């Protein structure tokens, strides 16, 4: 999965990363390197970190990158459990759904917004599909017009929780950045972690963005 667009990752999906223990790092080297038969992990330059996710009790998130790789925006992500079973997040929904079935998730009003950010961050539909809450999260092209810039500043807003239906499904409104468009989308998230988009009206089109 390549996140090659110009975004500030730590703000779009803020988690606390910790360096993994030596035994797990060694296991990862032995298990996946070279990644995709192309990206070799180097003992001196690899950076492997993990983070807990509040809706999982037995899975953590793993982030792998190596300063020797090009482009340097290339990151690899996995979900893994205490047995060190690795599940690659590849830009599609099935790996997340599969892990959700292995270890039922626990969503709440307090965690569903971060889960939606997580889900969309690791979903690619012909390009990244991201929840944006702050205008400063975007690095915009120099050629952007003042009219579009004004629309963007006015449209980017925090995710809004709108309540539940049937006591099983959370409803949220969020600003979505996809391809070269910014939209206000209505989402539903059920208790099993399935996400549906109910409407995506276009807010503004951003010219000049390039997604490697």
Residue-by-residue DSSP string for 150-178: HHHHHH----EEEEEETTTEEEEEEEEEE
Q: Does 155 lie in the same domain as 88?
A: no
Last residue of a domain, one of 56, 71, 102: 102
Q: 182 and 97 in one domain?
A: no
Quickly tell me which residue has 């702050």 as its tokens.
134
CA distance 97 to 126: 20
pLDDT of 127 above 70 = no
User: Residue 12: its pLDDT value, please?
Assistant: 58
- Domain count along the chain: 2
> pTM for the full model?
0.84
- Do the strands 59-66 and 76-81 form a parallel or antiparallel pair, or are they unpaired? antiparallel
Residues 32 and 83 both lie in one domain: yes
List, edge to edge, every strand of the sheet that includes 76-81.
18-19, 46-52, 59-66, 76-81, 86-88
Q: Is residue 3 in a domain?
A: no
Q: What sign does the CA torsion over 52, 1, 179, 212 have? A: positive
Q: What is the pLDDT of residue 107?
A: 95
**Alpha-carbon distance 197 to 74, whole Å?**
28
Q: Is residue 6 predicted with pLDDT exceeding 50?
A: no
Residue 90, Cα to own-chain centre: how many angstroms? 11
pLDDT of residue 141: 60
- Whether residue 41 contacts residue 35, with contact meaning beta carbons closer than 8 Å, is answered with yes
Q: How much is the pLDDT for 201?
A: 60
Please say which residue of 68, 102, 136 terminates a domain: 102
Looking at the structure, tell me whether residues 75 and 159 fall in a common domain: no
Same domain, yes or no: 71 and 124: no
pLDDT band at 210 (very low <50, low <70, confident <90, very high): very low
Whether residue 42 is predicted with pLDDT greater than 70 in this model: the reply is yes
Residues 98 and 144 in one domain: no
Instruction: Reply yes or no on whether the pLDDT at 205 is more than 60.
Output: no
Tell me the average pLDDT across 91-108: 92
Name the domain boundary from 34, 69, 102: 102
Judge whether residue 211 has pLDDT over 60: no
- 66 and 131 inside one domain: no
Q: What angle do CA 39, 23, 16 make, to 5 degrees?
A: 75
**How far, in Å, CA of 193 to CA of 164, rounded?**
14
Give yes or no for a contact between 4 and 73, defined as CB atoms under 8 angstroms apart: yes
Q: 158 and 90 in one domain?
A: no
Q: Is residue 210 part of a domain?
A: no
Mean pLDDT of the chain: 82
Position 69 pLDDT exceeds 80: yes
- Residue 145 has phi, psi (to 5 degrees) of -80, 155
For residue 168, is pLDDT > 80? yes
User: Do both 131 and 98 map to the same domain?
Assistant: no
**Residue 51 in this model has a pLDDT that exceeds 60:** yes
Q: Give the range of the structural domain holding residue 125, as residue numbers without chain letter.
A: 112-205
Share of the chain above pLDDT 70, in %: 78
Whether the CB-CB separation of 174 and 199 falls below 8 Å is answered with: no
């Amino acid at each position: 999965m390549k996140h090659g667009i110009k975004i500030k990752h730590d703000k779009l999906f803020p988690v606390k990363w910790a360096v993994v223990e030596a035994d797990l790092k060694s296991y990862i080297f032995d298990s996946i390197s070279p990644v995709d038969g192309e990206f070799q992990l180097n003992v001196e330059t690899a950076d492997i970190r993990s983070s807990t996710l509040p809706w999982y009790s037995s899975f953590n998130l793993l982030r792998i990158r190596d300063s020797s790789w090009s482009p340097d925006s290339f990151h690899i992500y996995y979900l893994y459990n205490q047995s060190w079973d690795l599940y690659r997040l590849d830009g599609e929904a099935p790996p997340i759904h599969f892990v959700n079935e292995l270890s039922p998730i626990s969503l709440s009003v307090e965690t569903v917004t971060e889960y939606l950010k997580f889900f969309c961050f690791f979903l690619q539909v012909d390009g990244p599909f991201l929840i944006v809450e702050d205008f400063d999260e975007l690095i915009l092209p120099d050629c952007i017009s003042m009219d579009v810039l004004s629309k963007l500043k006015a449209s980017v807003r925090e995710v809004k929780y709108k309540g539940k239906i049937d006591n099983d499904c959370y409803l949220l409104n969020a600003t979505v950045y996809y391809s070269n468009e910014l939209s206000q989308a209505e989402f539903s998230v059920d208790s099993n972690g399935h996400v549906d988009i109910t409407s995506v009206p276009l807010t503004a089109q951003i010219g000049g963005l390039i997604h490697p």
